[in-house]
Structure 1
Amino acid sequence: MGPVRAGDGPVKSGAGELEGVLEAARRIAVPTEYEERRLRTVAERVLRAVEEAFRGVEGHVRTTLEGSAAKGTWIRSRPEVDVFVHFSPGVGRELLEKMVVERGSRALEDIGASWRLRYADHPYVEGFLGDVTVNVVGCYATEPGKWLSPVDRTPYHTRYVLSRLDDRLRTEIRLAKAFMRGIGVYGAELRISGFSGYLTELLVLRFNGFLELLRDGSGWRPGKAIDMTGTFTEEELRALFPNSPLIVTDPVDRNRNVASAVSLTRFSEFVLASRLFLSSPSLSFFDPRPPSRGDVRPLLGCLMAVRLRDLPSLPADTLWGEVLKFCRSVERRLQKEGFVVRRWAAESNGDEVLLLFDIESLELPPLELRVGPPVWLRNAEDFVGEHLRDQLTVAGPWVSGERLYVLKRRALRSARDLLLRWIERGEVSVPKDVAPSIRSAEVFEVTEERLRELRESGYSAFLDAFIDGRPPFLR
């Protein structure tokens, strides 16, 4: 693979090689005619069942098919049907949620689907009919700009995309979604913080194709602004959304950034993957190799695990928001103490989450140099009094230049012991909903024996990916 430098123009590759990869990628991304017909049949069946379940319900306006199934932009091997139940704005939120759960689940049972309750902005029913995922979602039948819930925009999103689609663009969108999924940046949920399906559709529409999107994306920098409404300049958008690496206005709600979920890491991974694909096309960008079981020995003595069990049943983004807040707080506290945290990651498995921290050394040196205040400040005497006869003082206090210094023996040195103490004393963030799980967390060094135990507990793929360290498109 030849060198790719930031700031270069669009990167090119051999046309024949590229088309061969794209043809193979289409077979991964684009459903067959049979698969298309089968999903349409399932969608019609689900739609009829849900319509029947809500027939005569006060406040029910209509039932519609939305999302990628309605637009014909779903990718092969991921068939999904989204049915939206529209209510008049006068229906209370609590009643809407109650009706969607009760009648939506009954509709799915009537057609032989299993189901479970899921949470986003409000509860919805997720069902499974064969290999098809079915979502029954409640929304309000509102006018644009008068949204009562975030999902009220979805029917307008569907209409907008449909009005601009043709068969070529459907295929281009599917390629883009498969590419995003393959490189690990697809999904707006907090756990991923990547590109939503709707955002991917808008980007392909904006650049009129998959390769055109990659060619433009290969030169993006943080703060990239794309106005789909013809309303704002790039400078105005950056002022409106100052901390967003990517800004894409919603054509049905111009004051909303469709790309607000995209983290700087996922944005950067997309830019790099775009450049590498254009430089050296490969099917691995669409169908990545699983991480190999690498040699963990170089990392032994550097990995600390935190296992949170019995986590509460919360909306996924709420749960992950609290888990990630805890992770970032632990990282900051470790760094403040003097540890070098190289990276960390988290993975869920049922009602538990495993956190992994890669730390240069799990144990601090026995002695610590503490820097005190300048001697003329009022608290200089307090510093001297605190450390002069303390049993942990090894040398000092002394004056060097204007400041006081003291050499101390550390009472605790291991990352594990310190983290347990910080949790107990509230010196790291302990979000309330996951507080019981954090306070009872198992914190341990990852040895070869513990690694085997974790693999047997369902974390094998996560551990392999963490030890490997590379994003999918670099394996």
Structure 2
Amino acid sequence: MKGAEKIFAEVALEISPMPAEAKREKEFALEICRILEKNLKGEGVECAFVGSAARDTGLKGDNDLDLFVQFPRDKSEDYIVKKTFEAARKIPGEWVTHYAEHPYLQAQLGAFKVEVIPCFRMAANGELKSAVDRSPLHMAYLQEKLTPPQRRDVRLLKKLLKTAGIYGAEISIEGFSGLLCEYLILNYRNLETLIESAAKWKAPVFVDLEGFYIDSTQPEFDAPLVLIDAIDKKRNVAAVLSETNFHKFVSLCQAFRRRQSRDFFFRPATKAPSRNEVAKKLKARGTHFLLLSFGKPELVEDILVPQLRKTASAITREMRAAGFGVVDYAYYAANNCGVLLELASSQRPSVELVQGPPVREEAACVNFSKAHSAALRGPFVKGDRIFVEERVTERSAKKFLSGLLKDARALGVGANLSAPLKGAAVLEDAELNSVSDDEAAELWKYLSARDYWL
């Protein structure tokens, strides 16, 4: 790729922390580690500063510091959480409890967002007591393996992915984690080679840095990208990466290979759309919009987002099965939760095709025919089943959807969302203009969706 290195060098200067900034981060993190170890004296703990800031692979302005307090393996999970919380809360700051596999603490200490995570000491490819036990081992492995040029390329890769909206292992993004970025650069040696290779990827892609499976059968992972963790051969580091984001990355690399430009790393800022612009865009589609807007339950993102996704999928499935032409759908968690449906029409056809049992099930076919004796048309055989056509009782999409919500649990929605859905507002077309600014921004995101590199 002619000219790629020149672009990489220029961009790296803009996105890399200044040496003084990096030094300040490390000194502050190590001082907090020292205090934690002092507060836990006699517990046999070691505090490890890990993550991108520790490995010099972070972006300028990312002031997140991850501190892992490693306990001996003979302690219980409740014990290490209790002791870590007591030790951290002796450090002045507003410590807030967050939850992953087990609780951890977070506080804004001056310019830095500090996370203190309790874990158990672990040997490479040893038995896990908790998922976070791997992090200090990742730190040791990557600190030894990554060269300075590769650390620069990790930063460039992160910026490239961030600009494309596919960086982050959060369940709401399902993108590339920082660790995955580091492993990919390590495996492909540099960013240019990674881009050249990824432009030709065809799922599934299998990467095994340490060659754990050279002489044995590769493990089966249901994922487009499988990257075996160098310190835990049973784990796919890319497990959270969605099929869509995998293919977005392939498409992004193909585009960069065709036309190298710094525009892949920096996009111009866009101003928030006016309510009038949102309304015009909705109307210009010439379709029918329904929005379920309901109160956001107090759930952590890792629980809320999968339940929202499940709910949106279940509602869409029911609408399609009932004969409503769903063009597309989206969901969001802003100040409220929302499920947005775009339909071809506000009404479904007056006649619906009702599927019966397979012809081979004689008794079931007889019973089905009797049950539908007043059908508009049929019964008749189509393929290997019998069918009838019935008159639709409720043609309005809004009324039909409102009816579904009366028994939301039966739809197969997220377990924690069935109650809030009963009180959901069902808005259609022009009524969407009354939503909050946060929700209007989500509507605009749907209406203006475009991958900039295509």
TM-score (norm 1): 0.85
Aligned to 2:71: 87
Give the % identical residues: 25
Note if contact 1:101-1:117 (Cα within 8 Å) is conserved in structure 2: no
Q: Shift in Å at residue 349 of structure 1?
A: 2.3
The CA distance in 1 between the partners of 2:429 and 2:268, in whole Å, is: 25
TM-fit CA distance, 1:36: 1.6
- Greater CA drift, 89-98 or 427-436: 427-436
Aligned to 2:101: 121
Compare 153-162 and 27-36 and name the one that shifted more. 27-36
CA RMSD of superposed structures (Å): 2.6
In structure 2, what residue type is equivalent to 1:146?
E
Q: CA deviation at 1:372?
A: 4.1
**Where does the alignment leave 5 or more consecutive residues of structure 2 unmatched?**
none
> Higher mean Cα deviation, 148-157 or 379-388?
379-388
Q: 1:200 is matched with which residue?
A: 181
Counterparts of 1:138-149 in structure 2, within 5 Å, are 138-144=118-124, 145-149=126-130
Aligned partners of 2:441 and 2:7: how far apart in 1? 27
Whether 1:39 aligns to 2:22 is no
Task: Provide the secondary structure at the position in 2 that maps to 1:26.
Answer: helix
Contact 1:241 1:247 in 2 (8 A): no
Q: Distance in 2 between matches of 1:227 and 1:151?
A: 21
Distance in 1 separating the partners of 2:197 and 2:382 = 54
8 Å Cα contact 2:63-2:111 kept in structure 1: yes
Over residues 18-61 of structure 1, what are the superposed CA-to-partner deviations in whole Å (9 max), with x where a residue is unaligned?
A: 345324421342112232233224323432343343334xx441
Secondary structure of 1:331's aligned partner: helix
1:250 aligns with 2:229: yes
Match of 2:112 among 123, 132, 141: 132
Residue 326, structure 1, aligned to residue 311, structure 2: yes
The answer on 1:296 being equivalent to 2:278 is: no
Moved over 6 A (4+): 400-403
Please state whether the residue corresponding to 1:432 is helix, strand or coil: coil
Deviates more, 1:222-231 or 1:39-48: 39-48
Count residues with an aligned counterpart: 443
Match of residue 349 from structure 1: 334
- 2:200 is equivalent to residue 219 of structure 1: yes
Moved more, 266-275 or 119-128: 119-128
What is the CA distance between 1:446 and its match in structure 2? 4.2
Q: Deviations over 1:51-91 (max 9, x none)?
A: 343334xx441112111121111111222110111111121
Structure 1 counterpart of 2:146: 165
Per-residue CA deviation, residues 334-360 of structure 1 (Å, 9 max, x unaligned), is 22222333333322225x322223333
Measured in 2, the distance between the counterparts of 1:266 and 1:234 equals 31
2:364 corresponds, among 365, 379, 388, to 379
1:468 equivalenced with 2:448 (yes/no): yes
Task: Kindly state the Cα deviation for residue 252 of structure 1 after the two structures are TM-superposed.
Answer: 0.6
Alignment partner, residue 7 of structure 1: none
Change (3 A) 1:381 1:77: same
The one-letter code of the counterpart of 1:31 is P
CA separation in 1, counterparts of 2:261 and 2:346? Answer: 39
Output the amino acid matched with 1:21.
I
Q: 1:287 maps to what in 2? A: 266
Deviations 1:382-403 (A, max 9, x none): 33332334xxx5x233546797
Tell me which amino acid in the other structure corresponds to 2:298.
P
SS at match of 1:168: helix
Relative to 1, partners in 2 of residues 1:376 and 1:87: Cα closer, same or farther, differing over 3 Å?
closer
Residue aligning to 2:210: 229
* Aligned 1:40-79 pairs, distance under 5 A: 40-56=26-42, 59-79=43-63
Contact kept? 1:182, 1:287, Cα under 8 Å: yes
Letter of the structure 1 residue corresponding to residue 15 of structure 2: A
The AA in structure 1 aligned to 2:84 is: V
* Residue identity in the other structure for 2:103: P
1:375 Cα deviation from its structure 2 partner: 10
* Aligned partner (choices 240, 245, 268) of residue 247 of structure 2: 268
Q: Residue 307 of structure 1 is aligned with which of 271, 275, 293?
A: 293
The answer on 1:364 being equivalent to 2:364 is no
Deviation at 1:460, TM superposition (A): 4.2
**Kept after mapping to 1: 8 A contact 2:282/2:429:** no
Q: 2:137, 2:231 within 8 Å by CA — same for their partners in 1?
A: yes
Kept after mapping to 1: 8 A contact 2:106/2:113? yes
Deviations 1:84-111 (A, max 9, x none): 111111211122222333432442xx2x
Offset, 1:423: 3.5
Q: 1:376 to 1:44 in 2, by over 3 A?
A: closer
1:200, distance to aligned residue in structure 2 (A) = 0.6
Q: Kindly state the Cα deviation for residue 445 of structure 1 after the two structures are TM-superposed.
A: 2.0
The one-letter code matched in structure 2 to 1:68 is: S
Aligned mates of 1:33, 1:415 — CA distance in 2: 59
Alpha-carbon distance change, 24 to 105 in structure 1, aligned in 2, over 3 angstroms: farther
Shift of 1:415: 3.4
Contact 2:174 2:242 in 1 (8 A): yes
1:290-344: CA deviation from partner (whole Å, max 9, x where unpaired): 5674633233643322223141333x21222222222222222222222333333
Q: Cα distance 1:159–1:411, how it changes in 2: closer, same or farther (>3 A)?
A: same
In the alignment, structure 1 segments of 5+ residues that lack a partner are: 1-11
Higher relative contact order (CA 8 A, sep 6+): 1
Bigger mean CA deviation after superposition, 222-231 or 419-428: 419-428
